[in-house]
Structure 1
Amino acid sequence: MKYVLFMAFVGISLFLRRYIIRHVFTPKRKENKNYPNSTYENMEIELGSGTIRGWLIKSESSKGCFLLVHGWSSNKSAMLRYVDPLIISGYDVIIMDIVGHGQSDSLQKQVSIESFVQSITATIDYAEQRADINSHAIYVLGHSMGGTAASIVNATDRRIQALITDSMPTSLRHISQSMAGNITLPYRPFGWLLISWLLLRGGIFKKAKKEWRLEKIVKNQQSPALAIHGTEDTKVPISNVDVLLTHSNFKQVIKVETKGHHNCVKDNDFWDNIFRFITDNRQ
């Protein structure tokens, strides 16, 4: 009887593991159905882990360059909602699909936080190599998981002039909920197992536990960081910014009265807040 129970437990565990990997760890590849309103250039960046594909949209004055980073299981089309005000204000814009998302290929079976971090760093490298981009004024705007990964980069990479996060999860618990999407799993034990498997399969468990501790990351932002979060975000609750208010060196945290996980940009003062932050914290 014990043997039967043990085998049943093993079978259920393997099934659950495969299900989570297939439906959570592997982001759905969404097609880019929308394209920029302005003239754009297709760009490619070769990495050891895959090929990043994105768009470069040039402005007339090139005051700086904004790198827009989408969230888990999203793509660059979803970030077009940020583009027009930046172009009008004189900033070049780069939007890329993170490795394993959209049109970007991945040679690895596992897409992880590391995939986001590598993609952001490689895109900053790309911008620095372009003579027609003002690489001395690189700004990063990351949505959801893209904001979390960008804050990891900003904790060590001094090339970022300012970081803006939109609806960023600040705990492993809310990262797991954000990744799971419509899959409802209790954080204990399934959510923690989900995160552990993600880090372990991504080959970064020790690094994430030692170097990428979020409570340490948010205290060590190298460049000025601004967090914007909707008060009625049910996917990544507004409580996520509490740690930024009390235990971080984020320069500013703004709560906006918007519903949903993707609608902070609809706040009337969204862009005024961002451009004022950039002006007040120009390095």
Structure 2
Amino acid sequence: MFFSLIACLIILSSFITFVWILTVKSQTPKKIVVDRTPDVPYENVTFKSGTNGVKGWFIPSKISGGKSPLIIIIHGWGSNRSRMKRYIKPLYSEGYSLLLFDVRSHGESEDVKAPTVKIFREDVIAAIQYAKSRNEIDPNRIGILAHSFGGLGSIIANQEDLGIQAVVADSIPVQFSTIMKAALKMYKMPYYPLGPMMINIMFIRAGISRNELKEYDVPKALRNRKSAVFLVHSKKDDFVPSTELDYIVRQVDIPHIYVESKGHRSSETDPKFWNHVLPFFHNHLHGTGGQVSCPTKMPL
């Protein structure tokens, strides 16, 4: 009996250790090299988020004179700013200035111990503050185009009055169970019993309390949004399923479209994407003295 108890304790201890190690690994995004640069004039920039340095690119508007509207482009988990080049040309062509940056623990930005959606939220806020400090930018005409986890962080941040006018969130995960299922899928491991345990460990490591977790309820955050939001998700997303958008629209009346592009990082290849996203930004960012050309509109 005694030896059976010891054996059980050893097995339990080994399992807990395994889950902890797997959680730390899952919570440590792979650093992808920033190996591509914009095909338009740009400036390397650095700004602070908390005590950490954040690296990015500022792309001035192609239209000279006056203060321009700006769109902040934000990547997802395990990505970096160079992976977001796919969004640059259509927005730059419309006359927007752009700001792209590496979220902390990604790309060339400094690392944090246990990154979560909280880090994305904080870095979104820091990027907005930095953008408003630039003389070329109209601080009253700032929008966000964010992918995946970057979109999640932007939706959470948009509960605060940050002075932005529009957020487009592309292919965002919404439920923590979905996020964890996607992570475990890469390791070919089942969600139960690992998933719920790993979610709790992640928040413990990040110092996020249960009360703070209430801020990360996406339908609630959308109901409390301070600026206009438009959601996009591909029905053929094989990483974060489009049922995440289904989950949102069942609870919140929010402008959205489904596209048909294959994969998690290709929504913009469907013509419907830009035919809706560009008019959405134009409607909310052109202002009274807008410099942005008006794109061809399609019914929403």
Q: 1:1-283 to 2 correspondence within 5 Å?
A: 1-22=4-25, 24-61=26-63, 63-106=68-111, 108-180=112-184, 182-250=186-254, 252-281=255-284
- For the structure 1 residues 180 and 46, does the alpha-carbon distance in structure 2 shift closer, same or farther, using more than 3 Å as the test? farther
**1:43-92 deviations in Å (ceiling 9; x for gaps):** 11123342100000111236411111100010001101000111110001
Query: Displacement, 1:132?
Result: 1.3
Provide the secondary structure at the position in 2 that maps to 1:228.
strand
**Deviation per residue, 1:72-126 (Å, 9 max, x gap):** 01000110100011111000110000011000012x3211111111111001010
- After superposition, the Cα gap between the structure-2 partners of 1:41 and 1:279, relative to the gap in structure 1 and judged at 3 Å, is closer
RMSD of the TM alignment (CA)?
1.7
Give the secondary-structure state (helix, strand or coil) at the position aligned to 2:216. Answer: coil
Look up the equivalent residue of 1:32 and give its one-letter code: V
Say whether the 8 Å CA contact 1:147–1:165 is kept in structure 2: yes
Further displaced range: 39-48 or 213-222: 213-222
In structure 1, the residue matched to 2:297 is: none
**Quick one: which amino acid aligns to residue 104 of structure 1?**
S
- TM-score, normalization: structure 1? 0.93
**1:96 aligned partner, one-letter code:** F
Q: Are 2:143 and 2:281, in contact at CA under 8 Å, matched by a contact in 1?
A: no
Query: How far does the alpha carbon of each residue in 1:204-254 deviate from its partner, in whole angstroms, 9 at most, with x for none?
Result: 13244222222311322211111111111011111111123221242x110
**Cα gap change, 1:208/1:65 in structure 2, threshold over 3 Å: closer, same or farther?**
same
3-state secondary structure, aligned to 1:52: strand
**Identity between Structure 1 and Structure 2 (%):** 29
Shift of 1:280: 4.0
Residues 12 and 98 of structure 1, relative CA distance in 2, 3 Å threshold: same
Larger Rg: 2
Secondary structure of the structure 2 residue equivalent to 1:134: strand
Asked if the contact 1:57–1:93 (Cα under 8 Å) also holds between the matched residues in 2, the reply is yes
- AA aligned to 1:14 is T
Letter in 2 for 1:99: R
Alpha-carbon distance between aligned partners in 2 of 1:174 and 1:241, rounded to the nearest angstrom: 12
Structure 1 letter corresponding to 2:276: N
Contact 2:174/2:244 (8 A) holds in 1: yes
**CA distance in 2: counterparts of 1:113 and 1:173, whole angstroms:** 14
Gaps of 5+ in 2: 288-300
Q: Which runs of 5+ in 1 are unaligned?
A: none
SS in 2 for 1:240: helix
Aligned residues: 280
